[in-house]
Amino acid sequence: MQVLPANITDREGSQQLLKELRHKQPQMKLHLFADGGYKGKWEAWVKTTLG
């Protein structure tokens, strides 16, 4: 679990969390489920950064 300051958006916080997780567990397969609020730039970032 990770607690972030209130001035960090959910999208920014999820990027930090996912980058850290990928760094610590590069072999881990991720299956992400997100609502429509994450479409667009965040979705593209996940595809580009995490595959």
Residue 26 is assigned to a structural domain of this protein:
yes
Grade residue 23 by pLDDT with cuts at 50, 70 and 90. very high
- Residue 17, domain extent: 10-50
Secondary structure letter of residue 8 according to DSSP? S
- What is the count of structural domains for the chain? 1
Residue 16 is assigned to a structural domain of this protein:
yes
Residue 45 is assigned to a structural domain of this protein:
yes
Residue 32: how many other CB atoms lie within 10 Å: 10
Residue 2 is assigned to a structural domain of this protein:
no
Check if the beta carbon of residue 18 is closer than 8 Å to that of residue 50: yes
Q: What is the mean pLDDT of the chain?
A: 91
Grade residue 12 by pLDDT with cuts at 50, 70 and 90. very high
- 1 has pLDDT over 90: no
Residue 3 is assigned to a structural domain of this protein:
no
* pLDDT (0 to 100) of residue 51: 81
One-letter amino acid identity for 12?
Answer: E
* pLDDT (0 to 100) of residue 5: 93
Residue owning tokens 């595809």: 47
Give the span between the Cα atoms of 4 and 49, in whole angstroms.
21
- Write down the pTM of the prediction: 0.79
* pLDDT (0 to 100) of residue 25: 92
